[in-house]
A = this chain, B = another copy of it.
């Protein structure tokens, strides 16, 4: 996996950090946070916090005591050990887009299906830049709603041998995910020892954790599975129209959610989550790849590091409707800061389009190109006497060229980044090759990668047990 040894780009001064710190403390103690779960409320009450109805008013120092119990770094195991990931420190792990109800395939935009889900999952398996297909790569609208999570988890478990995300629609779905994960990894103890799923727990921002998400969190944290505690902040709607205010709200929500995980099971793995952008104040539409979201992202990294927590931000986010120039500059506007911040868990790293409503095959491949470029860019230079190639200068002299120099001949295969989608062909050659733009070329690459896909081997007995589980549970769920 990718380890980012380049410097972090930090933009918050100590004074600014002190203001933010004071802010979240005031928010959790004065305004408080709602938890729509009796079990959560009981845990906070038992721990001495002030509970009135669903509202919890916190002692900020208590929150920090709980947060301090969370591991600074941890592993998530994949069924292929070579694909296990380490979350935290300089490590960066990348998962595909999560949640779109629609897909775009060239000019066609339509409802996503289970077939699309499988195809995106296969693409995620094909590209080494992705550590995971994620979870809900797209919404399989043609499968029954109540048992859909079984199909998705099974696809993630069998079509890839990478880590995967758990379903969070309800506590029951979380239990199914955990049960299937136990089957795949050889029992409860194996996955409690080393987590094998990451699950996304979104806040119903502002300052409210709802029952479905909390039910899932209670299951996952109890099983020592990783949870990404994520305030869902589109400034102007779910938070004030101010980046500092939104950062403070993000701290209040994330830290109290993380405190809950530590009450459920001290030491259980958590990720400080961030999903921070803004709405268009004219239309109310969410905007992505904005300057404000990039600033929020950089600040979030610095804040999470201060609390010693692995964190999640970023992805190839865009509001654009097609895999055009806008989709690319907005994706890069999010993804480059993601690398500057050294984000540990990057969701939506490939395939996101149209504000997350659409999973796009073309954009998926374009995002892979962006990831490949940034992984190359964020690999430190080795600067020593040998790298200066003095002999090459002695050989080539003044006004000559280095094309045939011995130094070049020894290195020409690996010396530079080699693109996946990008073309530097001259105009005539590009025309002869079909004159396609990057989106069209990316679509072709996606099709070719799917043709070349091979399913990773899986023990037949385990596969049979998983299938049996799905059949039984589907029947129980009435689908």
Which residues on A are within 8 Å of B, measured CB to CB? 6-7, 9-12, 15-16, 19-20, 22-23, 26-27, 31-34, 55, 109, 204, 206-208, 235-245, 248-249, 278, 280-281, 283-292, 294-295, 299, 319-333, 336, 340, 354-355, 357, 366, 369-370, 373-374, 376-377, 380-385, 387-390, 392-394, 396-403, 405, 407-408, 411-413, 415-417, 419, 421-427, 429-430, 435, 437-439, 442
Closest 6 CB pairs of A and B: A291-B376, A328-B328, A240-B389, A325-B328, A319-B424, A324-B437
- Residue from the list B239, B392, B423 in contact with A240, Cβ < 8 A: B392
- Residue numbers in B under 8 Å from A411 (CB-CB): 241-242
Q: Given known contacts A285-B426, A332-B332, is B381 in contact with A16 (CB within 8 Å)?
A: yes
Whether A292 and B10, one on each chain, are in contact in the complex, defined by CB atoms closer than 8 angstroms, is no
Q: List 20 A-B contacts (CB under 8 A).
A: A7-B10, A9-B9, A208-B399, A236-B403, A240-B405, A241-B416, A242-B407, A244-B382, A287-B424, A290-B373, A295-B377, A319-B424, A324-B325, A325-B366, A326-B422, A326-B423, A327-B328, A328-B328, A332-B333, A355-B424
By the criterion CB–CB under 8 Å, are B208 and A416 in contact?
no
- CB neighbours of A204 from chain B (8 A): 399
A19 touching B385, Cβ below 8 Å: yes
Chain B residues within 8 Å of A329, by CB: 328-329, 331-332, 366, 369-370, 373
Known A-B contacts A240-B393, A244-B381; the reply to A427 vs B357 at CB < 8 A is yes
Evaluate contact between A388 and B23: CB separation under 8 angstroms.
yes
Give bound CA distance, A324 to B39, whole Å. Answer: 52
The answer to whether A416 and B281 touch (CB under 8 A), given A321-B423, A402-B239, is: yes
